[in-house]
Amino acid sequence: MNVEFPQTIDSMGCSAPFFNHDGNSEVSVGLMEEEEAFLASEIKNLSFQERNKALEDVHCVGEGEKENPEMIKQALIEFQGEVESQADPIYMRAYSRNRGYVEDPAFRLMFLRCKLYDAKQAARQMISFLRNQDAYFGSHTLGRDIAFTDLEEEDKQILKSGIFHIQAERDKAGRVVVILFNDMFLRNYKIESMIRAGYFMIFNCVRSRPDVQLQGVTTIFYDVVRADGQQKNQSWDAVLTLMNRALILPMRHSSMHYCMKTNGTSFSLNKVFLKVMLNGFPKYTIVRSRFHYGHSDVELQSKIRGYGVPLNTFPVDKLGNIREDLIDVWYNENCCCRANSNPSGTIVFTSSINSNDAIMATHNTEKMTIRPELTESCTLSSETLVPKTNDVLLGRGKRIQKHPGNISFRDWMYEHRSEYDGAYKFKRRQVAMELKNRYAENGVRFLKQTSDFKWSLANEEETEEKVKQLFRSFRRGGTGY
């Protein structure tokens, strides 16, 4: 069945337009006519299923990519074949330095997941990545991860400035939120330093995190210009170089938002910048893009909030000021302190996952420190468990909800809800745990997922919260689903 799409974005029947602007905006639809036509043509060529998937991803209701052991095995075999057929000298140099690193399935899967398991594209991306790593970080870094100690002083200044920033909270779909300020092209930084800083941050965010690789990230280009005397117009050759290098990073954009102010002087710059990006990014990213216009930061932030982006830890306040309290803390916790305490320079990136998890960017299983205003520290368990059908899994998302053990547990608790509701308020905690213990007598375990994507036993406090959450849902008239 062929599905015809209209030629203009605004008439596509989406729950929100691709170009999110108000009627009184100084920017008319006509000014973006060329960009609208381009997006409409990309959408028109999507199948019905592809279009729905793109809409779900943008609106934070989609799920990450699915994979299974057989699929992974076949993808790795095809990847090896592509690497051998290309026989690129840069790969052979990395291979000679550390064969185990470049042949590590975890390293290769990072590129395969980014390219949706297209082995040829993934192998090319890996080789291009190694080539850029050699060019910008030095041949001595081949065969290992990029570390904080590989950065130069200006690279660190760029990270501290926050023009590349990982938000402390994830979006409603549980995806990492990466924020890029558009004044990166107006700063007095060398383009090589910007490339190194961006590579370091993004690579370490994605590395060793299968959940980030499978879900992709939400990326926000935000219009902010700081009047601090650091302005310097980068040449378009430099901008194109930065964009081309960014496309090599093994990061899939599942949702992308361009936030532009209509009452400033940067709109014309943003328009050209967007044209470059639309022509450079793959179709997968383009159809998941949204443009937002507004007179103020209040308008822009209210629009991205409608797409599941949290604002509590957004690094720009309502007046358009950079929240140095967030930028500085993020840099100090994720770079300075980690590098000082770890001679190898490997970094543990922290970011809230439903306020009780963290982004971890290395293979380390040490105790991780989350931002103190978000949650307490958590420790990874050395014990790895495989969930059974009757186990109860803690977490969020459709995959967790549809687990057979979770369905049985919800149904059983729903049948016994009167015991909880009929108890005095000060007794409800005791009743909740008694019900949980009775249910667990048949060998049921309560498991939580750790930051290295493994399962371990949940503690009493965590299982208690799970039970109380169910009963709160029942009291509101829900069934826990």
CA separation for the pair 245, 198 (Å, rounded) = 9
- How far the first Cα of the chain sits from its last, in Å, is 33
* Tokens found for residue 332: 């100090």
**Candidate from 214-228, 269-283, 307-321, 451-465 with smallest mean pLDDT:** 269-283
CA separation for the pair 274, 92 (Å, rounded) = 37
What are the residue boundaries of the structural domains of the chain, listed by start?
A: 148-341, 392-475
**What pLDDT does residue 247 have?**
85
Q: 295 near 345, Cβ under 8 Å?
A: no
CA dist list (Å): 427 to 169, 213, 416, 420: 34, 44, 15, 9
Count other C-beta atoms under 10 Å from residue 33's C-beta. 11
Q: 471 near 417, Cβ under 8 Å?
A: yes
What average pLDDT does range 378-405 have in this prediction? 70
How much is the pTM? 0.65
**What pLDDT does residue 401 have?**
80
Query: How many CA atoms lie less than 13 Å away from 432 in the CB half-sphere?
Result: 21
Q: 201 near 160, Cβ under 8 Å?
A: no
Query: How many CA atoms lie less than 13 Å away from 116 in the CB half-sphere?
Result: 9
Q: 275 near 35, Cβ under 8 Å?
A: yes
Please work out, in degrees rounded to the nearest 5, the angle formed at the alpha carbon of residue 166 by the alpha carbons of 333 and 372. 40
CA separation for the pair 302, 294 (Å, rounded) = 10
**Candidate from 253-262, 377-386, 438-447 with smallest mean pLDDT:** 377-386
Residue keyed to tokens 């629009």: 303
Considering 82-96, 155-169, 407-421, the range whose residues carry the highest mean pLDDT is 82-96
**Candidate from 62-66, 341-345, 372-376 with smallest mean pLDDT:** 372-376
17: pLDDT strictly greater than 60: no
* Fold that domain 148-341 belongs to in CATH: Phosphatidylinositol Transfer Protein Sec14p (3.40.525)
Please, what is the average pLDDT of the chain?
Answer: 76
Q: 90 near 132, Cβ under 8 Å?
A: no
Q: Which residues of 223-256 are buried (b: 16+ CB within 10 A; e: fewer)?
A: bbbbeeeeeeebeeebbebbeebbebbbbbbbbb
The pLDDT > 90 percentage for the chain reads 26
Distance of CA 293 to the CA centre of its chain: 23
* pLDDT tens by residue, 19-78: 444 444 444 444 566 766 777 788 788 888 898 899 899 898 877 788 888 999 999 999
Please work out, in degrees rounded to the nearest 5, the angle formed at the alpha carbon of residue 20 by the alpha carbons of 14 and 21. 135
- CB neighbour list of residue 477: distance below 8 Å, 6 or more residues apart: none
**What pLDDT does residue 422 have?**
82
* Residue whose C-alpha is closest to residue 467's, from 455, 457, 440, 443: 440
Q: Are strands 253-261 and 176-181 parallel, antiparallel or unpaired?
A: unpaired
* Residue whose C-alpha is closest to residue 93's, from 138, 156, 42: 138
* pLDDT tens by residue, 138-152: 999 999 999 888 999
- CB neighbour list of residue 33: distance below 8 Å, 6 or more residues apart: none
The pLDDT > 70 percentage for the chain reads 73
What average pLDDT does range 149-163 have in this prediction? 88
What average pLDDT does range 412-425 have in this prediction? 82
93: pLDDT strictly greater than 90: yes
CA separation for the pair 154, 139 (Å, rounded) = 20
Q: Which helix (H) or strand (E) holds 448?
A: strand 446-449
**Candidate from 14-18, 338-342, 403-407 with smallest mean pLDDT:** 14-18
Q: Which helix (H) or strand (E) holds 42?
A: helix 33-44
* pLDDT tens by residue, 192-209: 999 999 999 888 888 878
CA separation for the pair 225, 370 (Å, rounded) = 29
What average pLDDT does range 383-411 have in this prediction? 79
Count other C-beta atoms under 10 Å from residue 384's C-beta. 10
CA separation for the pair 222, 265 (Å, rounded) = 14
Backbone angles phi, psi at 163, to 5 degrees: -65, -25
